[in-house]
Amino acid sequence: MGQIMKNLLASLGIITVLCFFPVSETSAYHFNGIAFEGNYVWCATDSGLVKMNKLDGTYQVYSIFGSKIVVDSDNIKWLDVNEGVISFDELELKSYTTDNGLADNDVKSIAIDHNNVKWFATLSGVSSFDGAEWKTFTTKDGLVVDDVESIAVDHNNVKWFGTRWGGVSSFNDTTWTTHQFTFNDTTFYYISSIAVDSENVVWFGGERDGKHVLISLEGTSLTLHYNTFGTGWEYYHILDITCGLDNKIWYIHYPFILMTYDKISGNVRYISNKEYKNIATMSARAVSVDNEGIVWLASEEGLRSFNGETWTPYTFDFSVTGVEAPETLSPFSIRGAYPNPFNASTTISFTLPASGFTQLVIYNITGQKVRELAAGEMKAGTHSIIWNGCDDNGTAVSSGIYILRLKSGKLSATGRMLLMK
C-alpha cells in the first residue's frame, strides 16, 4: 500500500489488517449489528465499525460506534447511535437527530425500501428519508401506536412496523393498515422483530407476559408457529429474526439465545456450544443471512459465520485504531455492560463527550430506582463502573431485567442488563 493511500486511510480513522481465518480465539468486544455490501460484511460494535472482506479476511476498523446497521442501494451505511442516526459513505459522516428530521432520537430499527427510502422506527412514530426530504408518520396518519420497535420491507415494497403495545401496522405508500394477532383469545400486541422470507411470507417475533411467539402472515393467512405462552418458560421477546435460504427461521430471544425454526418440520432448536464448537451461548445480539445462505452472528463474544456445518469465529484488533470519533458524531454513549447476562457483577462502560455533572442510575423493569452508581462531576472520556447486583441499601436484588440510565447535561442514554442467579 502506497504512503499516499496510508495517509488517506489514517485521516479517515481506518486501519487495514490481514486476518487469517478460521481462528480459534474469540473477540472480547461486543458485536451488535450486521449488514452486507457485496463481498463485505459490516459489523457495528462497541469498539468500532468493522468492514471485513468475506473472501480474504482483510478488514478495516473505523472509530464509529453504533448498534444497528443497514446499507442502502448507494452503499451508504446507516447506523443508530445514542442520539439519532448517522450515515457513512466511507468518506463523509452525516448526523441526523430531531433537529433535522427524526421523529425521536431513540431509534429502534432501520430499513431500506425498494426506492432507497430510509425508514426509522422510533419511540415517537416512524420517520422516512428519501435523501432530500424527511417525513414523520404517527397515529394521526394511521400508525396504530407511536412506539415502534421493528421494521421490514416485503417484496411488494410494503413496509411493516411492529409496535410495542399496538400490534402491527403496514404501509403501501398510500394506505395504512392495522393488524392484530389473536390466537385462542390471546392477543399479542408487542411485536419486537419482523423479517420477510423468499416467498414473501412475513414473520413476526412477538411477546406477551414474558413469553415469546413466532407468527407468520402469508397473504391473509395468519399462523402461530411457536408459542411459549402458558409454558412457564421465561423466554421474553425476540430481539432479532432473519430468514435463511434452507427453510429455516433464525431468531434471537431475550436473554440473547440463538434458535432456529424449521418451516417444513416445525422443529425448534436451541443453538448451543454443546452441539457446535466456536459458538457462544446466551450472548447473541444480531443474526443475518447473506445471499449465499451463510448465517452471520453478532454476539458479545464477537463475530461468527455458519456454513450449515461449522461455526467460524473471527477476531479483530481494535487497539491499533487509536482514532477519536469524528466531530460530526456525539461520542456520548453507554458502550455496554460485560458480562451481560451476568450472575454476580458486571462492568458498565460509557463515554462522555465533555466534562460535567453525570448520573448513572439503575432501575428495575417497573421503573423503580434500584441503585445510583454515579452522581457527580466527571471528565470527558471513557469510564467504567462495576455494579455488584445490590441496591442502594446493599441488599442483593433478584434475577430479572434492569434498566441502566446515563445522564450528562442535556444528553441521556439507556441500556438493559439481565441478572441471572
Q: E strand or H helix at 297, and its extent?
A: strand 295-299
Please report whether residue 327 resides in a domain: no
Are the C-beta atoms of residues 78 and 107 closer than 8 Å to each other?
no
Claim to verify: residue 289 and residue 403 sit in the same structural domain: no
Claim to verify: residue 151 and residue 210 sit in the same structural domain: yes
User: Mind listing the pLDDT tens digit for each residue in 160-219?
Assistant: 999 988 999 999 999 999 999 988 888 888 899 999 999 999 999 988 766 778 999 999
Claim to verify: residue 162 and residue 241 sit in the same structural domain: yes
Tally of domains in the chain: 2
CATH number at residue 279: 2.130.10.10
Among 285, 314, 343, residue at a domain's last position: 314
Are the C-beta atoms of residues 65 and 49 closer than 8 Å to each other?
yes
Query: Which is more confidently placed, 302 or 290?
Result: 290
Kindly state the percentage of the chain with pLDDT values over 90.
46
Query: What's the DSSP call for residue 224?
Result: E
Q: Smallest Cα–Cα separation from 70: which of 117, 132, 138, 134? A: 117
User: Mind listing the pLDDT tens digit for each residue in 363-416?
Assistant: 988 888 999 999 999 988 778 899 999 999 999 999 888 888 888 887 777 777
Q: Alpha carbon of 85 to those of 77, 118, 212: distances in Å?
A: 10, 11, 29
State residue 28's pLDDT score: 45
Claim to verify: residue 252 and residue 190 sit in the same structural domain: yes
The order of strands in the sheet holding 134-137 is: 107-112, 118-122, 125-129, 134-137
Q: Smallest Cα–Cα separation from 145: which of 178, 171, 116, 112? A: 178
> Which pTM value belongs to this model?
0.72
User: Mind listing the pLDDT tens digit for each residue in 114-139?
Assistant: 999 999 999 999 999 999 999 999 99
Q: Which three three-digit cell numbers place residue 339?
A: 458480562
Are the C-beta atoms of residues 253 and 239 closer than 8 Å to each other?
yes
Please report whether residue 322 resides in a domain: no
Please report whether residue 325 resides in a domain: no
Please report whether residue 84 resides in a domain: yes
Domain span holding position 352? 333-419
Claim to verify: residue 43 and residue 98 sit in the same structural domain: yes
In degrees, rounded to 5, the angle at the alpha carbon of residue 82 between the alpha carbons of residues 76 and 86 is 15
Tracing cell 412477538 back to the chain, one arrives at: 206
State the pLDDT confidence band at 326, using cuts at 50, 70 and 90. Answer: very low
